[in-house]
Amino acid sequence: MQTAERLPDLAVRNQDWKLRCEYDGTQPQLFNLAADLAETTNLANQQPELVARLTKTVLDWHKSMPPDNGPAITAEVPKEPGSKKKKNVK
């Protein structure tokens, strides 16, 4: 079974620009989708002001949302095909 590359937690798009980053704003990846639809060239180092602005935008949005329940939901999903979710029996 092949494992997928771990993607950043958050993403925001503004016109031709797309920024991806972690929940804390680290590891930014910036792409110009008009020139690079496949997102192969990270331009974050070349556009620090745009990265800062889009990172603030996406972090402010994320903070305004209800708490993320991803880990709790993921724990309920079977990890292997055919495996069953365990029930707590008391």
- pLDDT tens-digit profile of 26-55? 999 999 999 999 999 999 999 999 999 999
For the segment 75-84, the average pLDDT, to the nearest whole number, is 56
The whole-model pTM stands at: 0.67
pLDDT-derived band at 69 (thresholds 50, 70, 90) equals: low
Q: What is the CATH number of domain 10-68?
A: 3.30.1120.10
Task: Please provide residue 46's backbone torsions phi and psi, each rounded to the nearest 5 degrees.
Answer: -90, -10
* Mean pLDDT value across the chain: 81
Give the integer Cα–Cα distance in Å for 60 and 41: 26
Single-letter code of the amino acid located at 75: A
Tell me the CB-side half-sphere exposure of residue 48, using CA atoms within 13 A.
1
